[in-house]
Amino acid sequence: GFANKTLWPVLHYRLDLAVFDRRAEEGYRRVNERFAVRLRPLVQSDDIIWVHDYHFLSLAAELRAMDVGNPIGFFLHIPFPAPEILAGLPNAATLVRRMLAYDVIGFQSKRCADNFRRFAIEELDLVLEGEDVLKVEGRRVTARAFPIGIDAAGYSKQAMSPEARRAMARMEKLLNGRQQIIGVDRIDYSKGLPERFRAFERLLEDYPENRGRVSLMQVAPPSRSELDAYVEIRRELEELTGHVNGRFGDLDWVPIRYMTRSFQRRVLAGIYRSSRVALVTPLRDGMNLVAKEYVAAQRAEDPGVVVLSRFAGAAEQMPEALIVNPHSAEGVAASLQHALTMSLEERRQRWQALFDRLCEEDAASWARSFMDTLRQVH
């Protein structure tokens, strides 16, 4: 209850969807306490503990109460909001104080790390030492961005696997020379899917030469389907799909293909490779690895283009993508048109810069960077 109905919406800037329930918050605390109780007997003196994501914000505080003095790091995979947003969460100050029991707190983006430090300084009166170290009762806590990466080289190989090749052959037959825009997201109000469908409709309105020539394929497996907000999003997406397809569709062309099923990673790599544009436009996202996977799956000789929301953490690492405001249908449509008509030379230049950075800042580099920092700090 507290994780999905309170923390998730608040951390994604959606106070209007958050449910504030003291019993749910107490349940969250008990889960963290129980986890610590089970973990404590397993901890050896030379162990390093690395905790992940918003379900365990207070786990270190529970472990410290049990006299665990080991290095404990934490990484948040989703956004951390601006202080004025987080302040709307009852007991926000208490929760952040408990987070400060960690030695290193990692975030997906510089913006999120800045938000956390600002809250600690403005709401808890802590002192910042240097760029990213907070002084907490005689201790020093590092709060820094550690942008997560992917196995870029490995994913590139998956894009050439037999499964990927079969998927590409099917897509090429289906597209029959047309271009495809691909979106891959869980159904979630943070992903901006209704806004995305409206931007694609605006593309067909403002640039009619794309009618019959460009389609949007949206892969959107359901998540948390028992929550009312998700049921409403799914209904809205189905209505928008019907509206756009009914308005613009033709005998041999369907503008939007909307699928609420998932695909194996290798099949998805083949779909990425067959698509001219990746449309990655969350309203708020910690990182978003779809943008990175799409880049890794491309053919160097004829790569596609990423259209990326400025509110995704990935935007900090991927300036060569076309950065957009997902709330502006006109702006997204214009960037889609730019991507669809971009010269091969420009596509290659943008892709090469993105791919080189993906390989340099991959998943292994991310893990090493975090663990090295944790060892040094402790």
Q: Tokens 């961005």 — which residue?
A: 145
Dihedral of alpha carbons 122, 127, 133, 134, sign:
negative
Task: List Cβ neighbours of 289 (8 Å cut-off, separation of 6 or more).
Answer: 148, 150, 314
Between CA 193 and CA 212 the distance in angstroms is 22
Between CA 265 and CA 184 the distance in angstroms is 12
Q: Are 166 and 128 in contact (CB under 8 A)?
A: no
Between CA 194 and CA 350 the distance in angstroms is 28
Between CA 103 and CA 97 the distance in angstroms is 12
Of 103, 132, 285, 362, the active-site residue reads 285
Catalytic, 285? Answer yes
- Determine phi and psi for 181, rounding to 5 degrees: -105, 130
Nearest to 304 by CA among 180, 199, 191: 180
Nearest to 259 by CA among 224, 283, 234, 277: 234
Of 77, 243, 327, 338, the active-site residue reads 77
Catalytic, 77? Answer yes
Nearest to 195 by CA among 331, 295, 289: 331
Catalytic residues: 77, 285
